[in-house]
């Protein structure tokens, strides 16, 4: 076996996207099982691994395809079209091989080991502490929303390095990567939407984390990441926040694509009790609602792809010159990608209502899409009012009200 695993050297980005598209029927067939298990089924995980989806943006140096962000989001749209929960987990683990490329070379060698198989959630809310000790940090805390922890082999968590004054600002924020065996999973994932993501709680007590696996967000604000020396591709030298937003926006667009598919299937067979003998698809209202939904979602997906391409263009231009995206450029991308989510949610909401009362029954695909995208919209990154205010302040040369350093 080749070091870091064997990949299909002839596979193109379009070929990878087609692999994702080909999975849609299987994902739909297992969507109810995914919800019942409250995690991605083993069969789906095996197919993801076989297809190489976790390696889409993984550096070639460590056995990945090193495709670009547009390829990544297009694949995630297709997977999420088949199953929102499966798409969420895949998007929020596969994209984090990009994040792994930011760590010390020693840590990257450790993360990819010999087979190149790296799968880890990243919890960005700093709800734990990292206390400096000799050679690293002592990690303690509890982190909710470890999406995909059931299929992962590592976990990244954001932790506060306490400052000199109790209750004062932190000395640093560290994203620490730990092995799956080094944290305890608390099964607290009993929710209305994205039920199959297994986004449970991770508890850590007195765990030593070496400095190489503790990435300082404050340092990222001051210069390039320590892992930059390993990779020539400018993609790995850009800021993280647009990638994080694109991960989620792709899932939202995919869920809405699935809702359109579900509405079309439903409209072909549903007969209204108020209009005996008339199928839903024969009514002008259903035809107009479908057309409006398609137009709105096509716009959202075009915006998603445009932002992904714009990110690649900007990092290709800036990173080789030792520059990066401005705060205003990052905020604008975040604003647009969050708007993709709002448009996708609008599509799902409209079709769910247009599908009729029986669409609320358990097991109905439209109902699942409605619940999944409603859950997705509660994510902190998707707070549109916060993003709009922050961008507006930057547009007027004011300090943003809210900003995470380093991304």
Question: Which tens digit of pLDDT belongs to each residue from 192-236?
Answer: 999 999 999 999 999 999 999 999 999 998 889 999 999 999 999
The more confident residue out of 273 and 20 is 20
* Residue range(s) in the chain whose domain bears CATH number 2.40.110.10: 122-217
Q: Residue 2: pLDDT band by 50, 70, 90 thresholds?
A: low
Domain with CATH 1.20.140.10 in the chain: 238-395
Round to whole Å and give the CA distance between 7 and 295.
37
What is the overall mean pLDDT for the chain? Answer: 94
158 near 129, Cβ under 8 Å? no
**What pTM was estimated for this model as a whole?**
0.96
For 350, residues 6+ apart whose C-beta sits below 8 A from its C-beta are 289, 292, 293
Terminal CA-to-CA distance of the chain, rounded, Å? 36
| 245, 333 Cβ separation under 8 angstroms | yes
Give the CA angle between residues 405, 335, 177 to the nearest 5°.
Answer: 35
Look at the domain 238-395 and name its fold: Butyryl-CoA Dehydrogenase, subunit A; domain 3 (1.20.140)
Q: For 180-196, what is the mean pLDDT?
A: 97
C-alpha distances out from residue 401 to 338, 378, 392, Å: 18, 20, 10
The DSSP 8-state label assigned to residue 279 in this structure reads B
Mean pLDDT along residues 56-84:
97
Using the predicted structure, report yes or no on whether residue 91 has a pLDDT greater than 50. yes
pLDDT for 1 equals: 41
Assess whether pLDDT exceeds 90 at residue 164.
no
Q: Which residue spans of the chain are classified as CATH 1.10.540.10?
A: 13-112
Q: Does residue 406 contact residue 302 with C-beta atoms inside 8 Å?
A: no
Whole-Å CA distances, 266 to 261, 351, 364, 377: 9, 11, 10, 25
Residues in the chain: 407
361/372 Cα distance (integer angstroms): 15
Return d(Cα 41, Cα 368) in angstroms, integer.
17
Instruction: Of 246-255, 267-276, 356-365, 391-400, give the range with the top mean pLDDT.
Output: 246-255
Helices (H), 326-406: 327-354, 365-376, 384-395
Q: What is the CATH number of domain 13-112?
A: 1.10.540.10
Residue 113 DSSP code: T
pLDDT of residue 152 exceeding 60: yes
Q: Which CATH superfamily is domain 122-217 in?
A: Butyryl-CoA Dehydrogenase, subunit A, domain 2 (2.40.110.10)
């Amino acid at each position: 076996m080749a070091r870091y695993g064997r990949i299909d050297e002839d596979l193109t980005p379009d070929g990878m996207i087609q692999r994702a598209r080909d999975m849609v029927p299987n994902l739909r067939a297992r969507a109810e099982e995914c919800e019942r298990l409250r995690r991605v089924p083993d069969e789906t995980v095996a197919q993801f691994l076989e297809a190489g989806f976790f390696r889409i943006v993984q550096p070639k140096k460590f056995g990945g395809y090193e495709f670009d962000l547009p390829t990544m989001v297009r694949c995630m749209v297709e997977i999420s079209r088949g199953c929102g929960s499966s798409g969420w987990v895949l998007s929020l683990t596969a994209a984090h091989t990009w994040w792994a490329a930011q760590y010390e070379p020693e840590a990257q060698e450790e993360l990819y080991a010999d087979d190149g198989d790296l799968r880890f959630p990243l919890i960005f809310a700093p709800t734990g502490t990292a206390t400096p000790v000799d050679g690293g940090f002592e990690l303690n805390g509890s982190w909710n929303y470890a999406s995909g922890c059931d299929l992962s082999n590592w976990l990244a968590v954001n932790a506060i390095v306490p400052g000199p004054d109790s209750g004062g600002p932190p000395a640093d924020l560290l994203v620490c990567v730990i092995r799956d065996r080094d944290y305890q999973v608390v099964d607290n994932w009993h929710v209305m939407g994205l039920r199959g993501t297994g986004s449970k709680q991770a508890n850590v007590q007195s765990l030593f984390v070496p400095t190489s696996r503790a990435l300082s967000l404050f340092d990222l604000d001051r210069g390039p990441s320590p892992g930059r020396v390993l990779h020539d591709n400018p993609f790995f030298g850009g800021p993280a926040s647009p990638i994080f937003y694109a991960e989620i926006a792709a899932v939202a667009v995919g869920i809405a694509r699935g809702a359109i598919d579900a509405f079309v299937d439903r409209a072909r067979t549903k007969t209204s009790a108020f209009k005996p003998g008339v199928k839903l698809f024969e009514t002008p209202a259903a035809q107009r609602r479908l057309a409006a939904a398609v137009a709105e979602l096509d716009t959202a997906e075009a915006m998603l792809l445009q932002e992904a391409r714009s990110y690649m263009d900007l990092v290709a231009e800036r990173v080789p010159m030792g520059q990066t995206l401005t705060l205003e450029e990052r905020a604008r991308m975040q604003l647009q990608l969050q708007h993709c989510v709002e448009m996708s949610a609008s599509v799902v909401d409209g079709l769910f209502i247009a599908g009729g009362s029986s669409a609320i029954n358990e097991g109905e695909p439209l109902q699942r899409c409605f619940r999944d995208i409603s859950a997705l919209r509660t994510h902190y990154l998707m707070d549109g009012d916060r993003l709009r205010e922050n961008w507006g302040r930057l547009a007027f040369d004011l300090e943003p009200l809210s900003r995470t350093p380093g991304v």
